[in-house]
Amino acid sequence: LLGADGSMAATIFAEMSALAARTGAINLGQGFPDEDGPPAVLEAARDAIAEGVNQYPPGRGMPVLREAIAEHQERFYAIRLDPDREVLVTAGATEALAATILALVDAGDEVVTFEPFYDAYGALIALARGIHRTVPLRLPDFQPDLDELRAVVSDRTRVILLNSPHNPTGAVFGVEVLREIVALAERHDAIIVTDEVYEHLLFDGVHTPISTLDGARDRTVTISSGGKTFSTTGWKVGWLTASAPLLEAVLAVKQFLTYVNGAPFQPAIAVGLRLPDSFFADAASALRAKRDLLSSGLTAAGFTVGLPQAGYFVVADAAAAGHPDAARLCRELPSLASVVAVPVTAFVHAEHRDAYRSLVRFAFCKRTEVIEEATRRLAALP
Ligand code: PMP
Ligand code: GLN
């Protein structure tokens, strides 16, 4: 985690957003929307503040939100949960991930993730002094190879941590992949931790939570967040659902990380989770149009694009556009094209960087005119 001089490196997202702010470039680096989400959700937070919902909420989260999370899991996935024992509200998905990894992983335990992986995974596994093993995802579809997955999971594996829909690639793991993860977890007595923050941002088909598969429920911690679904990334209201014994273990850690957070935002996210189905469908189709716009713009600019099935991001191979070193391209992009993007090497282990050297992640959770302007600039890239 520490650099050679003992300092902690800034995350790639903080670095890239600072670069965008400094240069005035269009920020397609850090994944956050540039428009507000549903007015009813924003209004509910304002109302809660006005009504005095401003002190510590209960340690597990406000009942109204825990109930809304349970209702949401039942409405969309037919998962029935006890909101008092099987739902825990956290400071974003990030705290859910941190508390879960710190609760479950002891020094020397192995954690398997797919690579590229969301940057916090590597840092959290290191904080727990775990050993991070990875299964590679590759262009064109970024689906894991089942033999490679089987080769990595063993009796030393404590946690298999998956993220589908996946950041950065936008891959949605097929059901046969999910089934194999459950079978391996059962065979090696591992816990499944599943990061489903992009659960509502699928461009085709529906999301299948791994906890709904046979054998998964009692060994799975499911993590999500209001940030992506309601365009409220700054509110940091997330949650996890798990069987009561697993949840108790995570809560034991969580109470000493933040204790609680975001009192007035919790009832507001509850309002969001209860919005009609049409809200969720419309948000995904609006984002799908942005995916198509940015993907075709990148293709026109000479990049090879792996079309994402979900989420905020598209991964493009810059080698075809004459830029084999994506990290260098991303450093130069603000001055070459006044656009900021993130090299995929930021999501992989140093020793695996060569395989991802020419890949760039672009965020498309931005206003249409911003994406159009960015594609015009990228088309003029030397
Ligand atoms: N997991 C993934 C895969 C993410 O992309 C993000 C944030 N963009 C998070 C977790 C963190 O979510 P939160 O902001 O709710 O902490
Ligand atoms: N998850 C967002 C992304 O992938 C950023 C979150 C952060 O800044 N840590 O861009």
Model confidence pLDDT, tens digit, residues 295-314: 999 999 999 998 999 999 99
Q: Which atom of ligand 1 is nearest to the CA of 94?
A: 16
Higher pLDDT, 16 or 269: 269
Confidence of residue 11 (pLDDT cuts 50, 70, 90): confident
Ligand 2 nearest atom to the CA of residue 30, by list position: 10
pLDDT of residue 3: 54
What's the token pair of residue 112?
């398997």
Mean pLDDT of 63-70: 98
Q: Are 338 and 25 in contact (CB under 8 A)?
A: yes
Q: State the distance from the centre of ligand 2 to the C-alpha of 12, rounded, in angstroms.
A: 9
Q: How many Å apart are CA 204 and CA 207, to the nearest integer?
A: 9
Per-residue model confidence as pLDDT tens digits over 321-353 = 999 999 999 999 999 999 999 999 999 999 999
The whole-number average pLDDT for the span 38-55 is 98
What is the Å distance from ligand 1's center to 197 Cα? 6
Task: Check pLDDT > 70 for residue 4.
Answer: no
- The pLDDT assigned to 27 comes to 96
Residue 146: the pLDDT is 98
For 111-150, the pLDDT digits (tens) are 999 999 999 999 999 999 999 999 999 999 999 999 999 9
Distance of alpha carbon 171 from alpha carbon 203, whole angstroms: 11
The interface pTM score, or ipTM, of the predicted complex is 0.97
Atom index in ligand 2 nearest the CA of residue 120 equals: 9
Q: For residues 85-113, b (16+ Cβ closer than 10 Å) or e, as one string? A: ebbbbbbbbbbbbbbbbbbbbeeebbbbb
Expressed in angstroms and rounded, the spacing between residue 29 Cα and the centre of ligand 2 is 9
What's the start-to-end Cα distance of the chain, in Å? 36
Please count the structural domains in the chain.
2
Looking at all shown ligands, the one closest to residue 17's CA atom is 2
Q: 224 alpha carbon to ligand 1 midpoint, in Å?
A: 8
In this structure, which amino acid lies at residue 195?
D
Examine residue 67 and state whether it is found in any structural domain, yes or no: yes
The pLDDT, as a whole number, for residue 168 is: 98
The pTM of the full predicted model, rounded to 2 decimals, is 0.97
Distance 322 CA to ligand 1 centre (A): 32
- Distance of CA 167 from the midpoint of ligand 1 (Å): 9
Q: Which residue puts its alpha carbon closest to atom 3 of ligand 2?
A: 31
Is the beta carbon of 13 within 6 A of some atom in ligand 2? yes
- Confidence at residue 382, expressed as pLDDT on a 0 to 100 scale: 84
Q: Are residues 338 and 355 both part of a single domain?
A: yes
User: What is the predicted pLDDT for the residue at 12?
Assistant: 85
Residue 6 above 80 pLDDT?
A: no
Residue 30 CA, ligand 2 centroid: distance in Å: 5
Cα-flanking dihedrals φ and ψ of residue 51, to 5°? -85, 0
Question: Same domain for 223 and 353?
Answer: no
Tell which wins on pLDDT, 189 or 16: 189
Question: What proportion of the chain, given as a percentage, has pLDDT over 90?
Answer: 94
The answer, yes or no, to whether the previous bond of 308 is cis (omega within 30 of 0) is no
The pLDDT assigned to 36 comes to: 97
Residue 323 located in a structural domain: yes
Q: Which residue do the tokens 């006044």 mark?
A: 338
Q: Considering the domain boundaries, does residue 207 fall inside one? A: yes
pLDDT at 198 (0 to 100): 98
Per-residue pLDDT, 8 = 59
The full DSSP string for 123-176 is HHHHHTT-EEEEEE--TTT-PPPHHHHHHH--TTEEEEEE-SSPTTT-----HH
Atom of ligand 2 nearest to the CA of 167: 4
In terms of Cα–Cα distance, which of 244, 219, 269 is closest to 89? Answer: 269
Whole-angstrom distance, CA of residue 36 vs CA of residue 38: 7
Give the structural domain span for 302: 12-30+278-379
The answer on pLDDT for 10 being more than 60 is yes
pLDDT at 37 over 70: yes
For ligand 2, say whether the CB of 31 is within 6 Å of any of its atoms: yes
- CATH number of the CATH domain containing 136: 3.40.640.10
Pocket of ligand 1 (CB under 6 A): 31, 92-94, 118, 163, 167, 195, 197, 225, 227, 233, 236, 238
Query: pLDDT digit string (tens) for 209-259?
Result: 999 999 999 999 999 999 999 999 999 999 999 999 999 999 999 999 999
Q: CATH no. for residue 375?
A: 3.90.1150.10
> Does residue 4 sit within a domain?
no
**Residue where a domain terminates, one of 238, 273, 308:** 273
pLDDT band at 1 (very low <50, low <70, confident <90, very high): low
Last residue of a domain, one of 228, 250, 273: 273
Longest dimension (CA), the chain: 58
